[in-house]
Chains A and B, each alone.
Chain A
Amino acid sequence: MKVTLTQKDWMLISAYLDERLSNAEIGKVESRLKTDLQFKQAFTEIQYARRILRSLPMKRAPRNFTLSPQRIKMPVRRGWFQPALSFVSATAALVLIVVFAGSTLLPMLGVTKSAAPIMALAPEAAMDTTQKLLGESTEAPMIILWNPAQGAGGGNGNEALGSYTSGPGIGGGGVAPTEAPVIPPAPMAAESPTAKTLTQTQSDPSTLILGLPEPGTGGEIINRDFSKSEPSKPALPASTFWIISLAALSLVSGVLALILRRR
C-alpha cells in the first residue's frame, strides 16, 4: 500500500516522534493513529527510519584536535591582487557597457530625431563647403603652365620630367629630330607675375590647376617628391578606442583573477 499524505502530515508525524507537539496536537495525532491506517503506516515507517539513524554508533575522533601555539598563528594573508583584479575587471566591464551604449545608442537616437532638418540643410551646407573651398583656392591657385608648342608629358615615359623638352609633344609623338632647335626651360618665374604667384603656392598641391601661360613664355615644371608624402591614416573614433581598451582591460584582468583564484 502506497502512503499518500500531505507535507503537513509528515511534519506532524516527525514532530510527534521528537515530542515537539503541543498537548492538543498530540491528542489529534494519537486519535488519527487509531483510525487512519495510512497515517499509522506512515508513522511506523518514519519511526523506523529514525530508529535506524539513531542506531548508528558515535564515531570517535581519530586523534586529538587540540591546538598548539604554532598552529594558531594567523596565516599570511593571501594577496589583495586577486580581489583587486576582479574589481577592475567588473568595473571595466560596466564602463564598457556604458561607453558602448553611449556611442551606439545615443547617436542612433539623435539621427532619427534630426534627420529631416539635416537633409533640408544639406544643399546649403554643400554650397557653403564649395564656397569655402573656392575661397581657399582662389587665394593661391597653383597653375601648371607648359609650352603649347612643345607639349609635355606625353610619349616616352623613361624620359625624366626635367628633359621633357627633348621628348615628344602632346599625344605621344616620336622623339624630335636632333637638328631641331632645343629650347631650354624658360625662366618664367622671373618674367611672369603669374608664375611668381605660382612659386609661392607650390607647397599646396591641392590647389593645383592647369592653365595656359602668357604668350611667349615657356612652361614650368613642378617637381614634387611623392615618395615623401605622408600616408593617409583612417582616424579612429575616440569611443571605439575606449571600447577596445576597456574590453581588453576587462578581459585580461578577469582572466588573471580567475587564474589566481584557481591556485
Chain B
Amino acid sequence: MDEQALIQSALKGELDAFNRLILAYQDLAFNVAYRMLSDEDLAADAVQNAFISAYRNLKMYRGGSFKAWVMRMVTNGCYDELRRQKRRPTTPLEPISSEDHEEIDSPEWLASADPTPESMIEQAELEHAIQHCLDNLPLDFRTVVVLVDIQGMEYEEVAHVARAPLGTVKSRLARARLKLRDCLQGFQELLPARFRLEGEVRE
C-alpha cells in the first residue's frame, strides 16, 4: 500500500494504517530529534509526542510531502522541549558517558559498518565533536543543517518544515556550514585521521 493510501486510511480512523506510516518514518524522526536535542530519552519523548500530535491533527494535513509534514511536528516538538529546558534548566546528578550505555544491544552498534573497538571510539569522538558544534548553532540554523546535511532532505521539504522561504533556507544552510567549519577546525587534532582537513587549506 502506498503512502497516500495509508494516509487516506488513517484519515478514516484506521490506526493500523497510521502505525505503518510511523514505522516508515520513526528512524528519520528519531535521528532528527536526537541531533537537535542531544539526548536519546528526550528525543524519544519528542518523537512519540510528535506522532501522537500528528495523528490527532491528521485532518490538518493538506497534501504535499507527508515526510515534511511529520518532520515539522518533530521539529516543533524539539523546539518546545528546548524552550522548556531554557525555562527550567536541569543538571544531571551524574555525568552521562557513552561507557554507561549497553553496547551489545545498542542500535549504534548494529548500525555501525565497522564494529571494532578502535573505530567505535573514533566514531564516538567524531559524533561528540559534531554534536558539540551542532549544539552551539542557533536553533534555526541547526534545524536546516540537520535536515539537509544529516538527513539528506531537499531544500523544498526543509522550507516546508521550517516554514521559511527557499532563499532563507539556502542562506541559513550556508551560514550554518560556515559556523560548523569554524567549530570543527577546533577539533582537528581530536578527529580521526580520515576526517582531518589536510595540507593546503589549513589555517
Contact = CB atoms under 8 A, between A and B. Distances in A.
Contacts of A18: 148, 155, 173
Contact of A54 (B18, B150, B171, B181): B150
Contacts of B76: none
B30 A61 contact: yes
Contact of A67 (B19, B29, B170, B184): B19
A59 B200 CA distance: 34
B155 to A, nearest CB: 6
A143 B38 CA distance: 96
Contact of B52 (A11, A15, A54, A67): A67
Interface string A47-77: 0111011111111111111111101101000
Nearest to A66: B19
Contacts of A64: 22-23, 26
B177 A50 contact: yes
Contacts of A44: 197, 201
Interface stretch (B1-9, B40-48, B61-69, B89-97): B40-48
Contacts of A1: 203
Contact of A74 (B18, B56, B111, B185): B56
Interface in A54-105: 54-69, 71-72, 74
A63 B44 contact: yes
Contacts of B27: 58-61
Of the listed residues A15, A48, A53, the one surrounded by the most CB atoms of chain B closer than 10 A to its CB is A53
A57 B44 contact: no
Interface string A193-216: 000000000000000000000000
A57 B171 CA distance: 26
B150 A62 contact: no
A142 interface: no
Contacts of B180: 49, 53
B126 A66 contact: no
A249 interface: no
A45 interface: yes
A71 B52 contact: yes
A20 B170 contact: yes
B141 interface: no
A13 B108 CA distance: 33
Interface in B189-203: 191, 195, 197, 200-201, 203
Given A14-B170, A15-B170, A66 B22 contact: yes
Contacts, number: 125
A13 B174 CA distance: 8
Interface residues of B, number: 52
Interface string B69-101: 000000000000000000000000000000000
A44 B197 CA distance: 9
A255 interface: no
B121 interface: no
Contacts of B47: 61, 65
A9 to B, nearest CB: 9
A147 B1 CA distance: 122
A20 B148 CA distance: 12
Contacts of B175: 7, 10
A41 interface: yes
Contact of B51 (A7, A45, A67): A67
A64 B20 CA distance: 11
Nearest to A10: B174
Nearest to B145: A53
Contacts of A65: 22, 26, 29-30, 44, 47-48, 51
A46 interface: yes
B117 interface: no
8 contacts: A18-B155, A48-B184, A56-B150, A62-B40, A62-B107, A66-B23, A72-B15, A72-B55
| Shortest Cβ-Cβ A-B pairs, 3 listed | A60-B107, A14-B174, A53-B149
Given A10-B174, A41-B200, 13 more contacts: A7-B174, A13-B174, A20-B170, A46-B178, A48-B184, A49-B181, A53-B150, A56-B127, A58-B27, A58-B31, A67-B18, A67-B51, A67-B52
